Amino acid sequence: MVEFLTTIDKRKILHVDLDAFYAQIEMRDQPELRSKPLIIARDPTQNNGHGVVATANYAARQLGIHSAMSAFEAKRLAPNGIFLSPNFTKYKVVSAQIHDIFRRFTNKVEPVAFDEAYLDVTANVLSGATLAAEIRHQILKETHLTSSIGVSHNKLLAKLGSEYNKPNGVTVINHENQLQFLDCLSISAFRGVGRKTKEKFDKLGITNGLELRQMSREELKTEFGKMGEHLYWQARGVHFGAVEWQRQRQSVGKEETFDRALRETNAVQIEFKRLVNSLVMSMNRQKIVGRTLNIKIRDEQFNTITRAITQDDPWTLNEATLVMAAQTMFDDNIGPDFSVRLLGVSMSNLQSATFEEMSLF
């Protein structure tokens, strides 16, 4: 049975990830925190039990605490743990330093989060392993923080590699050892295997990459749908996605032209809701946020106006908030007698969203 054609992927891809980023910065700045379980989250006792763990140091992780867990649950696991509210202003400064270091090695940098990026270093004459050592050295020297790097020929293996030897480690995965590496991985290490998928694999008796690879493509598709197809290729270390380094689009937005002009506030509001809904979906899909919300209004005489609100921090992608802001701009600029032929809502000053930042709120 021919499963797939092997093509030798000659790329050199790194996945760089700082270790417990926010927690590590706080421990760097307050060394007395090092020996204690440190949880970056608002203290649930001062916050009515609300809040989510952004990250935790390794002492806290040993107690079973992990990011995205409720702060309340973390408090139960570590009653004497230290809770610190995240200081994003500080983390952003360090993030910029790290991304500057990445760009010394290649312009092909795809930022994934504050502390994480893919680098395509194919054009660099040095080996991936050498570059990884040098990047880790420069990060440590300039920020006093440790990082982990996966080195391979595609993004999937690079990412799995950086996770494998964490914290403060390097994993090099090449064509010769990739199957050996994948076969030993626990099933939950594969991308997209969450709690539910894991339970299903448990029932099937599949615990590691080798057993996953022995499942047929049909079987995987039947059990897991599209995810099954992804897992089929993951088990073989095949991934062709490119490091997406080119600058993101300047703006993202939606507009709508109406056959019959809108003349009532109610109708305008319904359209804003629709436009904002599709804008938010598209931004979530692209994992981007933006600081400037723009609206565009054209009347029956083809007069067009645009208005914008720019904030210091990206807009939260909350539909009600954005609709209200759009409607306010409309009301402030359009008199009571209007006829609208076109409405648009867009976001500019874009940046990539980080999972951690988004899940906090």
Helix axes 226-234 and 217-224, enclosed angle (nearest 10):
140
**Least distance (Å) between residue 116 CB and Mg ion:** 5
Judged by CB, which is closer to Mg ion: 166, or 239? 166
Tokens of 206: 């599949």
Judged by CB, which is closer to Mg ion: 148, or 346? 148
Looking only at residues 112 through 151 of this chain, which bind Mg ion when binding is defined by CB under 5 A? 115
Judged by CB, which is closer to Mg ion: 23, or 297? 23
Judged by CB, which is closer to Mg ion: 115, or 357? 115
Does residue 356 interact with Mg ion by CB under 5 A?
Answer: no
- Hey, what long-range contacts does 77-83 have (CB within 8 A, 24 or more apart)? 78/37, 78/39, 80/36, 80/37, 81/36, 81/37, 81/38, 81/39, 82/33, 82/36, 82/37, 82/38, 82/39, 83/39, 83/41, 83/42, 83/43, 83/44
Q: Which of 110, 116, 271, 356 is catalytic?
A: 116
Judged by CB, which is closer to Mg ion: 271, or 356? 356
Among candidates 90, 119, 112, which has minimal Cα distance to 24?
90
**Least distance (Å) between residue 19 CB and Mg ion:** 6
Judged by CB, which is closer to Mg ion: 17, or 271? 17
CA distance 359 to 346: 23
Structural contact between residues 325 and 293, judged by C-beta atoms closer than 8 angstroms: yes
**Least distance (Å) between residue 24 CB and Mg ion:** 9
Does residue 110 interact with Mg ion by CB under 5 A?
Answer: no
Among candidates 349, 333, 347, 348, which has minimal Cα distance to 268?
333
Strands (E), the chain: 13-18, 38-40, 55-56, 82-84, 109-113, 116-120, 147-152, 170-172, 251-262, 288-299, 304-310, 340-352
Does residue 17 interact with Mg ion by CB under 5 A?
Answer: yes
**Least distance (Å) between residue 166 CB and Mg ion:** 8
User: Is 19 annotated for ligand binding?
Assistant: no
**Least distance (Å) between residue 288 CB and Mg ion:** 20
Q: How far is CA 14 from CA 9, 109, 174, 223, 304, in A?
A: 14, 10, 12, 32, 47
- Torsional class of 20: left (φ above 0), alpha (ψ -120 to 50), beta (otherwise): left
Structural contact between residues 20 and 56, judged by C-beta atoms closer than 8 angstroms: yes
CA distance 339 to 305: 13
Site string for Mg ion, 66-105 (x = CB under 5 A): ----------------------------------------
User: Is 115 annotated for ligand binding?
Assistant: yes
Q: Residues in contact with Mg ion, total (CB under 5 A)? A: 4
Structural contact between residues 81 and 37, judged by C-beta atoms closer than 8 angstroms: yes
CA distance 50 to 267: 38
Structural contact between residues 171 and 254, judged by C-beta atoms closer than 8 angstroms: no
**Least distance (Å) between residue 55 CB and Mg ion:** 8
Q: Let me know if 116 is a catalytic residue.
A: yes
**Least distance (Å) between residue 110 CB and Mg ion:** 15
CA distance 95 to 103: 13
Please list the active-site residues.
Answer: 116
Q: Which residues are annotated as a binding site?
A: 17, 115
Residues making up the binding site for Mg(2+): 17, 115
Residues that bind Mg ion (CB under 5 A): 17-18, 21, 115
